[in-house]
Amino acid sequence: MSPLEHASRAEIDAYQNAALKQLLAYLQANSPFYQRRFAELGLEIADIRTTADLMRLPTTSKQDLQAHNWEFLCVPRRKVAEYCSTSGTLGRPVTIALTGNDLARLYHNEYLSFACAGGQPDDVYQLLLTLDRQFMAGIAYYGGILKSGASVIRMGPGNIAAQFDTIRELQPTVLVAVPSFVVALVAHAEATGFDLNASSVRRIICIGESIRDEQLQPNALARRITEAWDVRLHSTYASTEKQTAFTECSHGAGGHHQPELLIFETLDESGQPLPAGQFGELTITTLGVEGMPLLRYRTGDICTYYDTPCACGRTTRRLGPIVGRRQHLLKYKGTSLYPQAIFNVLNTFGEVAAYVVEARTSDLETDELEISVALAAGVDETAVLDRLRAALRAALRVLLPLRVQPLAQVLARQNPGDSRKPARFIDLRRPRPPFE
Ligand SMILES: [Zn+2]
């Protein structure tokens, strides 16, 4: 456990203020990118004393990282231990280079995350995700689990029958998986008569997709799992650039912040920080990172945070689910919405086997949408489509264009390139100027 998890707000602030000053001195001394940026803006880092002064510092965008990737490296190349990369689903992949100390920090972060999710040294974790392809989260989970004293089974993604063989054979207590893949496990168990509730699995750490709605209630994905399987679901949220996770405790009231590893802000459209409860762009500053530390990095993820006390006793702030990506905001027939809001409705329909939402720019420079769904075998297409249209209209207050396509075509559309993750939203709109 980290001492800051139960510290007062004043203690957390004091820690972060000192860590911020240390970070700024480190960037000034070692980061070619930030040296140049500070000089261009005539910034004196001595003027920045507390996290409240962060607003006086510039933000860093994904475009900055893409255009000047190696200028972010603060150490000589020989000190790099591992090169990770972003998935590239949102443009050109970015390399994040980690030193040995950064790897130790990454594992410590995941050790604290899994402890927050109730992890014990006698747990056995089955990892249903990739550990290669420069995927940072895979090695983070692996290292964090080993640090906790628990055991790990590296199964990788897919291969449902083998996942069940391992559950039978090695009796894992925790799965780490993408929740939509857990839904596929549930369907397989139902089809083959495997008794999920007689299995050894007690908890599932859900990665990559949200399992809660904006009110922190279980969404359709989560309900589909827990209605069939008596397991506790924990959401965890992270990204390669952050090198830090937000993970839910057993009260499921948002992912706990780790204040010794990260400073976070939520910013409105004009870059002003928002209070708890309001939705803005998550902007992060890494603490304790040696290789490629980031200052006020705009993640593009829209969410809110909570600062009320958590029933688990931790005093740290908690991050709510990501409601959308900033650059994915759609303006359709006068209504603003994120693709996630469409996913939330489609996910409640068991008859929908797969779907993809595509956006294009029309001749009139407005957003055009097309939602392609593949339906499960044997369902009444007209009836399901009528109910789908009505549900989308009720939730989003706009009539959205829907069409039915064969499953293979929808799956192919989800993977237009050689992406690490299938995409449910394909943005074919003409690019807009980046936010400054
Ligand atoms: Zn808690």
Burial class (CB in 10 A: 0-12, 13-18, 19+), 389: middle
How many angstroms separate the alpha carbon of residue 319 from the centre of ligand 1? 11
- What CATH number does the domain located at 11-323 have? 3.40.50.12780
Q: For residue 111, give the nearest of 123, 94, 100, 99 by alpha carbon.
A: 123
How many angstroms separate the alpha carbon of residue 216 from the centre of ligand 1? 13
State the average pLDDT for the chain.
Answer: 94
Tokens of 96: 């994040």
How many angstroms separate the alpha carbon of residue 24 from the centre of ligand 1? 31
How many angstroms separate the alpha carbon of residue 318 from the centre of ligand 1? 8
Q: Read off the DSSP letter of residue 212.
A: B
How many angstroms separate the alpha carbon of residue 247 from the centre of ligand 1? 9
Residue 346: CA atoms inside 13 Å, Cβ hemisphere, count?
Answer: 24
Q: Read off the DSSP letter of residue 218.
A: B
* 329-428: CATH class: alpha beta
- CB count within 10 Å of CB 52 equals 11
By DSSP bridging, strand 255-256 and strand 262-267 are: unpaired
**Mean pLDDT over residues 83-88, rounded?**
87
Query: 2-58: per-residue pLDDT in tens?
Result: 889 999 999 999 999 999 999 999 999 999 999 999 999 999 999 999 999 999 999
How many angstroms separate the alpha carbon of residue 233 from the centre of ligand 1? 14
How many angstroms separate the alpha carbon of residue 234 from the centre of ligand 1? 11
- Check residues 276 and 336 and name the one with the higher pLDDT: 276
pLDDT of 111 strictly over 50? yes
How many angstroms separate the alpha carbon of residue 245 from the centre of ligand 1? 14
How many angstroms separate the alpha carbon of residue 112 from the centre of ligand 1? 13
CA distance 182 to 188: 10
8 A C-beta contact, residue 159 and residue 130: no
Residue ranges of the domains in the chain? 11-323, 329-428
How many angstroms separate the alpha carbon of residue 55 from the centre of ligand 1? 29
How many angstroms separate the alpha carbon of residue 254 from the centre of ligand 1? 8
**Mean pLDDT over residues 356-374, rounded?**
92
How many angstroms separate the alpha carbon of residue 316 from the centre of ligand 1? 8
pLDDT of 365 strictly over 80? yes
Helix, strand or coil, per DSSP, at residue 273: strand
Q: Report the pLDDT value the prediction gives residue 435, as an integer from 0 to 100.
A: 43
- Check residues 89 and 361 and name the one with the higher pLDDT: 361
How many angstroms separate the alpha carbon of residue 60 from the centre of ligand 1? 30
Phi, psi of 387 (to 5 degrees): -70, -40
How many angstroms separate the alpha carbon of residue 116 from the centre of ligand 1? 8
Residue 321 Cα distances to 79, 123, 256, 338, 424, angstroms = 36, 26, 12, 13, 17
Residue 370 Cα distances to 37, 357, 402, 429, angstroms = 41, 6, 6, 12
8 A C-beta contact, residue 235 and residue 318: no
- Check residues 337 and 243 and name the one with the higher pLDDT: 243
- Tell me what percent of the residues of the chain surpass a pLDDT of 90: 82
How many angstroms separate the alpha carbon of residue 337 from the centre of ligand 1? 30
